[in-house]
Structure 1
Amino acid sequence: MWVPVTDMDRARAFYRDTLGLSEGKTTEDWSEFDANGLMIGLNARESAQPASGGAVITFQPDGDLDAEVAALQDKGVEFGGIADHPWGRLAPFRDSEGNDLQFYAPPS
């Protein structure tokens, strides 16, 4: 899965420093991050801006969902709340470039 980015340095800092994901291959136009087994590519070659209603990248946080949300809120990340469903929990947010992301936690 890849997402468009406007500012590669800002996007890399968000995924690496704010989300704490492991950074892989990095070039001026492309960077890869491991989101708990899901590879996310940051693509600066695409000029398309994210739009509401587009693709959403969903991945599991390394730790407890509530703790991860609280830690990221302390770093300035805004969440749309946590939704509880019979099939799991979702916590939607946006990256530094406006792309839609969400944490997922399976039911306990």
Structure 2
Amino acid sequence: MPFPTLAHVAVTVRDLSVSVPWYRALIGSEPVLDEDTDAGFHHAVFLLDNGTLFGVHQHTTAPSDQPFSEYNVGLDHVGFGCAERADLERWQARLDELGISHGGIVDAHYGSGLSFRDPDGITLEFFAPPAQG
């Protein structure tokens, strides 16, 4: 049986009033869903161009005072796929336009990445495979 594709990613944020506008600017679209749930959280969900859903959740239970760290068990980062390194250069310019700090494009034998953090410190990355040739 083939392993299913990734349908959605959801991250917990501290304050939707900060995170939703930040992700709206980054993604360039409005959430397709913005609602309270019966499960005790409010979520805003964005539809990415490839059909994947990306959600930001704020739970009614208060979060811990600990900042996000990729060194804790759980999420390390969320990677968004780009077709080629030139796409990363365009995203780097877009992040600069938005005033979002980043680590610059890092090239490795397995591909190139451009990492940055959301308002809660969650690590996000644009990633492109190595050039063929």
| TM-score (norm: length of structure 1) | 0.83
Give the aligned CA root-mean-square deviation in angstroms: 2.3
Is 1:69 equivalent to 2:82 in the alignment? no
Question: 2:68 maps to which residue?
Answer: 50
Name the CA distance, whole Å, in 2 between partners of 1:22 and 1:39. 12
Question: 1:79 maps to which residue?
Answer: 102
Question: 1:103 maps to which residue?
Answer: 126
Alignment of 1:29-48 (within 5 A): 29-37=42-50, 38-45=52-59, 47-48=63-64
Question: 1:8 maps to which residue?
Answer: 16
Q: Are the counterparts in 2 of residues 5 and 42 from structure 1 also a CA contact under 8 Å? A: yes
Q: Are the counterparts in 2 of residues 55 and 100 from structure 1 also a CA contact under 8 Å? A: yes
Name the CA distance, whole Å, in 2 between partners of 1:107 and 1:19. 24
Which is worse superposed, 62-71 or 79-88?
A: 62-71
Seen in structure 2, the aligned counterparts of structure 1 residues 97 and 58 have a Cα distance that, compared at 3 Å, is same
Name the CA distance, whole Å, in 1 between partners of 2:33 and 2:77. 22
Flag the structure with more relative contact order, 1 or 2, with Cα contacts below 8 A and sequence separation at least 6.
1
Q: Name the amino acid aligned to 1:40.
A: F
Question: 1:27 maps to which residue?
Answer: 35
Identity of aligned residues (%): 26
